[in-house]
Chain A
Amino acid sequence: AQTVTQSQPEMSVQEAETVTLSCTYDTSESNYYLFWYKQPPSRQMILVIRQEAYKQQNATENRFSVNFQKAAKSFSLKISDSQLGDTAMYFCAFMKQMNYGGSQGNLIFGKGTKLSVKP
């Protein structure tokens, strides 16, 4: 069975600074995807960034980037130039690659990290 571990229940960062959220996972699968989802207070959860395990290059989306270490089974999220709107719960998630026709939404989530951006 796959597991996802987020060891930081809460973190805080000053506006405009950089923060890194940690995530480790355990799997025997060779082909899989990793995700960071953001859940702002009282708002819908949205996908922040996605990484395919077969890709060595780390994914980047504007101020968000990941450090994917496949051998170490580590997948951290770096947020640069933090903004007040980044305040949210951040969930790391895993999904094994499914065969054609298989579900593309069965994710295994970590327990989340509550990030507070302070002015």
Chain B
Amino acid sequence: DGGITQSPKYLFRKEGQNVTLSCEQNLNHDAMYWYRQDPGQGLRLIYYSQIVNDFQKGDIAEGYSVSREKKESFPLTVTSAQKNPTAFYLCASNRAGGIAGELFFGEGSRLTVL
């Protein structure tokens, strides 16, 4: 089945460690996005990529990094510079020329910093 796969589903890390969240899609979508969800805060855009080897900062990019070496993959690294990394991270994608604003989401990765 086509969809977006995020892994791991749950992740624990110690302070000062970098961690990478995986996002893979087999929908042949051009654009991919990373959103952060905090309780009572809604979703906020971290990074997005409209094409391979190109990506743009969203509203809260500080302390995060991404890469887009393949169309199917858009991993997110949460670095030690991110002050409050404990959150639920959602990856999404959409098709160029598709319905504007229609995002397809993965099931999310919950990161807890101990």
**Tally of A-B Cβ pairs under 8 angstroms:** 65
Contact A106 to B48, CB < 8 A, known contacts A33-B100, A91-B42: yes
Whether the Cβ atoms of B56 and A47 lie closer than 8 Å is no
Interface residues on A, range: 20 to 34
Number of B residues near A (Cβ < 8 Å) is 28
A119 to B62, CA, bound (A): 45
Closest to B50 in A: A103
Whether the Cβ atoms of A95 and B40 lie closer than 8 Å is no
Stretch of A11-19, A60-68, A77-85, A108-116 that contacts chain B = A108-116
Q: Contacts of B48 on A, CB cut-off 8 Å? A: 103, 105-106
**Shortest CB distance B89–A (Å):** 13
Q: Using an 8 Å CB-CB cutoff, how does the interface string of A96-110 with B read, 1 for contact, 0 for none?
A: 011000011111011
Residues of A within 8 A of B (CB): 4, 9, 33, 35, 37, 42-47, 50, 91, 93, 95, 97-98, 103-107, 109-112
